[in-house]
Structure 1
Amino acid sequence: MSDQQFKKAAEVIQSLPKNAPVKVSQDTQLKVYALYKQATTGDVNTSRPGMLDMTGRYKWDAWNKLKGKSSEDAKKEYVQTFFEIFEPHKDDAEYAKYLEEVQSLA
């Protein structure tokens, strides 16, 4: 796994439209968010959002669960999760292209 591979996987995931055929659970969305934050920022560095910001709390909690995980390990897990999300769609030409792009950077 290379930094380029992580960056490309993040670029693809972040550019997906909300109505994309690739559907992921909220748990997977939180996992991807938390892994990205841990990989790029490190341990959570903000206070937990207030009770009225439920989305913020879920995101903060997911990130905080990764406390102590190294940036390198978070990047590896992020790329692994990318493949778990996209592999089932490898027969779709658009998603196959994304898989090939990220794989080629390994």
Structure 2
Amino acid sequence: MSIEAKFDKAVAIVQGLPKDGPVKPSQEDQLYFYKYFKQAKVGDNTTTRPGMLEFVGKAKWDAWKSVEGVSKEEAMKLYVDKLLEVLKKTDDAESKKYIEEIESA
């Protein structure tokens, strides 16, 4: 059970969540997933901050920049832990299935 396997499973789950499904990560949760996904996959943010009118782009950039220095493994762990937390709060059959898939990865 490597953290990378759990992370890959968690990413697949987050990316596949239906918009009208029972699991609804908040905008704050979505930014959390984004910043740790980018940190795990790319590393530290070395890009230029988006301009004044790009509100979503700036929020994502700022979120990713805020985790500068976090290791790939730690970023993966934090991503997985956050998804498990969101799924446990939802506490329905689909969430329990996702939790089982992550824990068995």
- TM-score by structure 2 length? 0.92
Identity, in percent, stands at 46
After TM superposition, what 4+ stretches of structure 1 lie above 2 angstroms from structure 2?
none
Q: Give, in whole Å, the separation in 2 of the partners of 1:47 and 1:19.
A: 34
Q: Which residue of 2 aligns with 1:83?
A: 84
Alignment partner, residue 50 of structure 1: 51
What letter corresponds to residue 45 of structure 2 in structure 1? V
CA distance in 2, matches of 1:52, 1:38: 24
Query: What SS is found at the alignment partner of 1:24?
Result: coil
Superposed, 1:1-106 pairs within 5 Å as 1-90=2-91, 92-105=92-105
User: What runs of 5+ residues in structure 2 fail to find an aligned partner?
Assistant: none
> Is contact 2:3-2:73 (8 Å) kept?
no
Cα distance in 2 for partners of 1:54, 1:18 equals: 22
TM-score normalised by structure 1 residue count: 0.91
Segments of structure 1 that go 5 or more residues without pairing to the other structure are none
